Amino acid sequence: MKRKLQALVVFILLGICKLPLEQRTATSLRSHEMLYAPLDYSARDAVGQMGFAATLGGLRSLVASITYLMGYTAFEETNWSRVDMLFGITTMLQPRFDVYWDDAAGHMAYDAASNYLYDESRPTLYRKQLYRENVQRGIDILNEGLRHLPKSDRLHTSLGHLYARRVEPRNHELAGEHYLLAYQNGGLPVMERLAAYEWAQLNNAPERWKQAYTILKRSYGMGLRAPGTMNFMHSLENKLNIPPALRMR
């Protein structure tokens, strides 16, 4: 009996000694995206007992697909708080799948924001406030997605679109920055030109104007002479005081 008690004490002490090491190891793995964080209690309630058990059993992708579909049902019912919650769980379960982050942000920044903006049953000021809050929610979702996937051209593109088209006032600086990052991480060549278009609209930003002009001048040299491109190029030539003899025709 004494030996069993001694063995039990040793076992407990070893467990206590190992706990800090195991916690540090888990934290390190999560920081390097090699281990998923455990579900919190609100997420467990949302996915249900069976869904939570499935995530413990290594079926996180399956549960994420289910909550993703549930999110679309909530979207059809215009239940925006539930849409946000379900897509939040989906991205938490599969944080390295950029489509989930992109859809989650789009539902809030476009669908929910527009739904509130055009809901004439609400006071105008309140509608505009809800619009801004949901656009910002979309931005926050994309930024969180980029924390996990910093090289996702999809997420950079979507964030550029929000800064260029949805925020009030338009943030040309950040829109251009994310368009350029989208291009640098495998996005279409048009993303680089969109960055130039955004920076061409900045006030008192000579360094950005030069960067934008370099991009558009290179596109011009490759034969791109679209009216929009030429308009921005001529605007930049005026802002940068390019001599007439050196301007693009």
pLDDT 10s digits, 83-139 = 999 999 999 989 999 999 999 999 999 999 999 999 999 999 999 999 999 999 999
Is pLDDT at 247 greater than 50 in this prediction? Answer: yes
Pick 247 or 9 by higher pLDDT. Answer: 247
What DSSP string runs through 111-173? IIHHHHHT-TTS-HHHHHHHHHHHHHHHHHHHHHHHHH-TT-HHHHHHHHHHHHHTSSS--HH
Is pLDDT at 16 greater than 90 in this prediction? Answer: no
Is pLDDT at 26 greater than 60 in this prediction? Answer: no
Q: What is the pLDDT of residue 113?
A: 97
Q: How many CA atoms lie within 13 A of 70 on its CB side?
A: 19
Contact (Cβ atoms closer than 8 angstroms) between residue 131 and residue 113: yes
For the entire predicted model, the pTM comes to 0.79
What confidence category does residue 63 fall into, taking pLDDT thresholds of 50, 70 and 90?
confident
Pick 77 or 57 by higher pLDDT. Answer: 77
What confidence category does residue 2 fall into, taking pLDDT thresholds of 50, 70 and 90?
low
The DSSP code for 247 is S
pLDDT 10s digits, 197-208 = 999 999 999 999
pLDDT 10s digits, 172-199 = 999 999 999 999 999 999 999 999 999 9
Is pLDDT at 20 greater than 70 in this prediction? Answer: no
Enumerate long-range contacts of 15-18, CB under 8 Å, 24 or more apart: none
Q: What is the pLDDT of residue 62?
A: 84
Q: What is the pLDDT of residue 60?
A: 79
Cα gap 235→241, rounded to integer Å: 10
Is pLDDT at 81 greater than 60 in this prediction? Answer: yes
